[in-house]
Chain A
Amino acid sequence: MQIEKQGIPTVQVSSIVDVAMMVGVPRLIRGYTITSPICDFHLSPDEEKAMRRRCVKKALALLQQEGKKGSYETI
């Protein structure tokens, strides 16, 4: 939030969206799990990477949108 305060937009990937929403994170993606936020590690390497790519593309898309507190996107 201190980065937002400086006028730099952020997007956060977090598996504990409840905390991120409590603090007021304006662009939020619900992570897969605490120990592997970006992707599901049970998947095959290719599928796992595809999921990572989906996550990062979604992050890039969110960065171009107005921030909105109290909600999150899924990967």
Chain B
Amino acid sequence: MMSDKLVQGNPENGKWRIVCYLNQFFGQIGGEDKADTGFLVKEGPIGPAMFLQSFFAGEGEVVATVICGDNYMADNLGEAVEEGFKLIADLKPSIFFSGPGFNSGRYGVACGAIAAAVQERLGIPAITGLYPENPGTDMYRKRAYVVKTGINAGTMRTALATMAGIGKRLLKNEPIGSAEKEGYFARGFLKNETVEKTAAVRGIEMLFDKVTGKPFKTELSIPQFEDIPPAPPVNDIKKATIALVSDGGVVPKGNPDKIKVSQNTVWASYNLDELFANPYQIAHSGYHPTEVRENLNRLLPMDVLKELEAEKEFGRLFPVFYSCSGNTTTVQSCKAIGEGIAKKLVEENVTAALLVST
């Protein structure tokens, strides 16, 4: 993720060094028949880069245009991005633009991938432009500025003007407004702003419109989740190793792994016997832990798990417990915590997991 403030190298002649990336078509090499063309570096601006140059009159110059065929990029994206990145880095850019790629699938992904690499690794602004439905949009909008474009090159001028406008202000450390206002795709941040009417007044207007059959537009929308197929069930429960996982924020006294009471981003593992034998605390500010403080079994049913293990109702209770705190945690953090715990469970050959949520 890029920080909001970028450190720029000061250009010697007072002009920003601009590097552009284009595919074989916009780079004027040829059409689909030239899509296998590898990387070329041409001095100065080519095609759309010439338009871009005009927006930077006097302040910046396109020092080179890097061109690559769509197939060459698509066939082995990782290696091709690496090759392109090295060429771009050698040009010592102050700012990088790719595309715009409009709704071209291969080109769009290439524009996003290379912009993300440049921004993350060179720490300079990298901006591309894509159509909302281009697969590159969702893939890269959080890793570089992706400006919203029309479906094809008919919107080239407008797209480049927006890209250049954002780029200039990033170079000067000037603020960039909201995604909607500026015309880029949201990068995964929210900020508070003030509007004219209070939420109450807007809410009553919206309800009035909904009831009277007038059009209205929701301000927040319901979430969409990845559809993950269930794992196969446990075959032989008598041999199963079962691990205990909870988002209730149980940690040993002192909270050694610094699990946050809200908006947590980390997970930790603790030996269950030690956890129960020693003082513990609840790193979770979303519920009052009176009941759990009185008896930890109400959250982590150790007593009955041990009994059922002894009675051979299942194979083995995994001695380590996985803990996190699920209170106003972002979906992004939940996913990362889940991935981390899942990876560990695989490594530890755990058969199944019992999850307890507050």
Q: Find chain B residues with CB under 8 A from A15 CB.
A: 357-358
Q: Find chain A residues with CB under 8 A from B355 CB.
A: 3, 10-14
B230 touches A8 (CB 8 A): no
Q: Which of B313-353 contact A (CB under 8 A)?
A: 313-314, 335, 338-339, 341-343, 345-346, 350-353
Of B295, B335, B356, the residue contacting A37 (CB under 8 A) is: B356
B227 touches A13 (CB 8 A): no
B354 touches A3 (CB 8 A): no
- B12 close to chain A: CB less than 8 A: no
B352 touches A63 (CB 8 A): yes
Q: B353: nearest residue on chain A (CB-CB)?
A: A10
Q: Contacts A2-B341, A12-B355; is A63 near B237 (CB within 8 Å)?
A: yes
- B288 close to chain A: CB less than 8 A: yes
Of A1, A52, A68, the residue contacting B297 (CB under 8 A) is: A52
B303 touches A6 (CB 8 A): no
CB distance from B318 to the nearest CB of A (A): 11
Number of interface residues of A (CB under 8 A): 46
Q: Find chain A residues with CB under 8 A from B200 CB.
A: none
The interface size bin for chain B is 35 or more
CB distance from A42 to the nearest CB of B (A): 10
B231 touches A35 (CB 8 A): no
A7 touches B231 (CB 8 A): yes
Of A8, A26, A57, the residue contacting B352 (CB under 8 A) is: A8
B232 touches A9 (CB 8 A): yes
B233 touches A63 (CB 8 A): yes
User: Counting chain A CB atoms within 10 Å of each CB, which of B291, B292, B297, B303 scores highest?
Assistant: B291
- B308 close to chain A: CB less than 8 A: yes
A9 touches B297 (CB 8 A): no
B298 touches A9 (CB 8 A): no
Q: Find chain B residues with CB under 8 A from A52 CB.
A: 297-298, 301, 303-304
Enumerate 28 A-B pairs (CB-CB under 8 Å) in ascending A order.
A1-B338, A2-B342, A3-B338, A3-B342, A4-B228, A9-B232, A11-B354, A11-B355, A12-B356, A13-B355, A15-B358, A23-B225, A26-B231, A35-B292, A35-B358, A37-B298, A39-B298, A41-B294, A48-B295, A49-B304, A52-B303, A57-B308, A57-B313, A60-B242, A63-B233, A63-B237, A64-B234, A69-B230
With A8-B352, A66-B232 given, can you name 18 additional A-B contacts, CB distance below 8 Å? Answer: A1-B225, A2-B342, A3-B342, A8-B231, A12-B356, A12-B357, A13-B355, A14-B355, A15-B357, A24-B227, A26-B231, A35-B287, A38-B356, A49-B297, A52-B298, A52-B303, A60-B313, A63-B233
Q: Which residues of B contact A (CB under 8 A)?
A: 223, 225-234, 237, 240, 242, 245, 248, 287-292, 294-295, 297-299, 301, 303-305, 307-308, 313-314, 335, 338-339, 341-343, 345-346, 350-358
7 tightest A-B CB contacts, nearest first: A67-B230, A2-B338, A26-B230, A14-B357, A36-B291, A12-B355, A36-B298
